[in-house]
Structure 1
């Protein structure tokens, strides 16, 4: 089956949509997290690439553990603790193959929540009152399908069927995930994201807003997952131009309004 990348040089840079099929991008923990490291946020990284950062109060910990020989190529993890050195109150994990722009937006929202709590009497990191529909309603406005099951879960699938978000709306078993997302074929996903119960819905909403953003992601052709390229649109290609015509992308859907930072 043909795809928009067929006549492009593998090293050429392109801008692509939808985001969930774009590939991981440049794996740089320091810029992906974008914390104020000069303001008391410790950051450390080993020669092997494993990295960690902490909030000044040590209640937030975020790590990157590359495992290039395993499916998912490693893990990005956010742990939130009600008190330092206690078991996590909630956790988010992303496969290392998740687009880094999605991770950056979640960590930016995490920093926003942290600073809001620090300068107010709120505790939204552990008592967030954001309604679940704020995380999934924007998916429906862009044509994602919606399926509700009697086991307490509802699933939202992308229009092309190569990604989804699952929400456990009935809290009958808090040991299971509250939210789960993936991209690619379910039997062999490009990446997976997992949100435990207790995770602020505000962070899930930041994730889904980034997931469906109509701002294209910049990738080289060789870094875009091969098996789902037929479902990608190429925005304005940049860099080395191939011989012949580059397939034009249809215009992206209208932007979705979201939380103002």
Structure 2
């Protein structure tokens, strides 16, 4: 999508774009990110300085948002799980607050689904490779080097990189330039494969996300595909997304 197609639009006008990983964080709606049933035993704990902390009824699973507006990532989302209430972490996921909100939502929704069968939070039967199989199916390039992390690179580079390491340090992931990513995430090595798979599925989803023109990162606009622009909508408006089309020459996924 040539940048001038966006330059001719009102900055407050909304558009639907792909790929998701390059669309910017979007509007932070905490209820949308964490679809937890707080009226059914989930706890929302009071915290200072804008921090938000929630835990499951069994207190073995928790999620936290810590704003840090002065830092590049603008804060962190952290999900942790322990085999005993508030015990030593068994696994942990950490995201920059600049991660596209749709990716955060899809991961938390899968987390809630796993919680319905709590054994899957720690001893899931899903094979590790299934966490990344969809990326290979979508044409991501798999690079393997001796004594070096394996990497999965998006086919439409530059614009996004996904990397993981088969070691205890976990699996870092990011969107945007490899050296100056727009967002990053790290999933510890014991993270349930079901959560990894849910995240990668959201990462390559073909359902476009809605953004105001002014909120799209300028440095990646040439790598975005745009659906038909929509009129500026009032706060809270969230129409069902439609398949993206390319108005003119652009990069396809």
Rate the CA distance shift 1:134–1:248 in 2: closer, same or farther, 3 A.
same
On the 8 A contact 2:162/2:175 being kept in 1, the answer is no
Alignment of 1:39 onto 2:40: yes
Cα deviation code 1:43-99 (max 9, x no counterpart): 145574321110001001100111111011100000101111312111000000001
Instruction: Give secondary structure in 1 for the equivalent of 2:219.
Output: coil
Structure-1-length-normalised TM-score:
0.85
On the 8 A contact 1:163/1:181 being kept in 2, the answer is no
Single out whichever of 143-152 and 103-112 deviates more from structure 2. 143-152
In 2, the alpha carbon distance for the partners of 1:89 and 1:239 equals 46
- Selected match of 1:144 from 140, 143, 160: 140
Cα deviation code 1:153-193 (max 9, x no counterpart): 21111122221222223x4xx2x11x221011111100001
On the 8 A contact 2:161/2:178 being kept in 1, the answer is no
On the 8 A contact 2:38/2:44 being kept in 1, the answer is yes
Alignment of 1:166 onto 2:166: no
- Selected match of 2:224 from 213, 232, 245: 232
Instruction: Give secondary structure in 2 for the equivalent of 1:5.
Output: helix
On the 8 A contact 1:50/1:64 being kept in 2, the answer is yes
- Selected match of 1:132 from 116, 128, 137: 128
- Compute the RMSD of aligned alpha carbons: 2.1
1:27 corresponds in structure 2 to 28
Structure-2-length-normalised TM-score:
0.88
Rate the CA distance shift 1:106–1:213 in 2: closer, same or farther, 3 A.
same
- Structure 1 segments, 4+ long, off by >4 Å, are 45-48, 249-253
Alignment of 1:52 onto 2:53: yes
Gap runs ≥5 in structure 1 = 118-122, 241-246, 254-261
